[in-house]
Amino acid sequence: MAATRVLTTAAVVAASAGQTTTSCLFTNRPFLLPTTTRKAYGFNGLCFNNNNKRSSSLVVVKSSNKRPFSCNAIYNPQVQTIQEGQSDSLDYRVFFQDGSGKKVSPWHDIPLHLGDDVFHFIVEIPKESRAKMEVATDESFTPIKQDTKKGKLRYYPYNINWNYGLFPQTWEDPTLANSEVEGAFGDNDPVDVVEIGESQRKTGEVLKVKPLAALAMIDEGELDWKIVAISLDDPKAHLVNDVDDVEKHFPGTLTAIRDWFRDYKIPDGKPANKFGLGNKPANKDYALKIIHETNESWAKLVKRSVSPGELSLF
């Protein structure tokens, strides 16, 4: 029997001043979405105010999934990560549970927005490690697992020097071509985040981060955004608020990130990845635009306005 144990506990706090209680399109359970976020982005997506009369006409979309789809966003729980199986094995998984012990999806159930340009970030790969961990977007509850190729576990050829993971509730739509980045289509995954703080984090840890820059990586023709961010609890977080600050306080980091992702497949005999936007990092405002657009794409995905294909929506 697979061993099960708690790895980490992370508070995902979305209840703070200036927030509006909302309900999901597919459920009456309320969750909190920052008022500032709704105003800044005009976000309607899956949510609306509880006093909106449309709540009386909610419908559940039927699917072939084994259990009803729910897009509840967790509000103010203690999220635990649970290890199943042995690390460095094909059956190893890191699942997420809410405070009641119920499994939840780190991709769908943890809210993206915290307000004031702050977002939740989920760590998949700790800095200075090589195992290629990622959210299993095609498995129920989308646990974190180690990627495989031809039945073997995948490892980077060398350590990644930053904490790496994803923004929840985002999706790079593979049917959308980005005219600003060589017409490349999305890679069918959540948006990747490179967190540049000094601490090595743990797989499954949930951090509050602010985005600083964006790199438009093109991987075998697919657009694979890399949002550069920093955790709010990092000692230098107050010093960096945009792309120029990164170069000032973390000199050479943006170039190092671009070069690392450009070259990491070369040892496996593959060509170097390319970058759009003039091969340069875009600023914070552009990064926020990407986050907003991919959050909207995720909303369309979970509403099934677009086909999910093999993706799990719970």
pLDDT, residue 45, reads: 38
- Indicate the pTM of the whole model: 0.80
pLDDT, residue 80, reads: 93
Q: pLDDT (tens digit, 9 = 90+) per residue, 161-178?
A: 999 999 999 999 999 999
Q: What are phi and psi of 193, to 5 degrees?
A: -130, 135
Q: List, in sequence order, every residue forming a beta bridge with 82; answer none if it has no partner.
A: 6, 95
Looking at residue 272, its amino acid is A
Catalytic position from the list 75, 156, 264, 286: 156
Measure the N-to-C terminal CA separation of the chain; round to a whole number of Å.
24
Complete DSSP assignment for the chain: ---EEEEEEEE-----TTEEEEEETT---EEEEEHHHHHHH---TTEEETT-GGGGG--PPP-SSSS----PPP-S-EEEEEEES-TTSTT-EEEEE-TTS-EE-TTTTS-SEEETTEEEEEEEE-TTEEE-EEE-TTSTT--EEE-EETTEE-EEEEEESSEEEE-TT----TT-EETTTTTEEE-SSPPEEEE--SS---TT-EEEEEEEEEEEEEETTEEEEEEEEEETTSTTGGG--SHHHHHHHSTTHHHHHHHHHHHTTGGGTPPPPEE-GGGS-B-HHHHHHHHHHHHHHHHHHHTTSS--TT----
156 classed as catalytic: yes
Residue ranges for the chain with pLDDT beneath 50: 1-71, 76
Regarding beta strands 129-131 and 133-135, do their DSSP bridges make them parallel or antiparallel, or are they unpaired?
unpaired
pLDDT, residue 73, reads: 57
Distance between CA atoms of residues 31 and 41, nearest Å: 18
Looking at residue 261, its amino acid is F
Q: What are phi and psi of 202, to 5 degrees?
A: -110, 150
pLDDT, residue 61, reads: 34
Q: List, in sequence order, every residue forming a beta bridge with 48; answer none if it has no partner.
A: 23
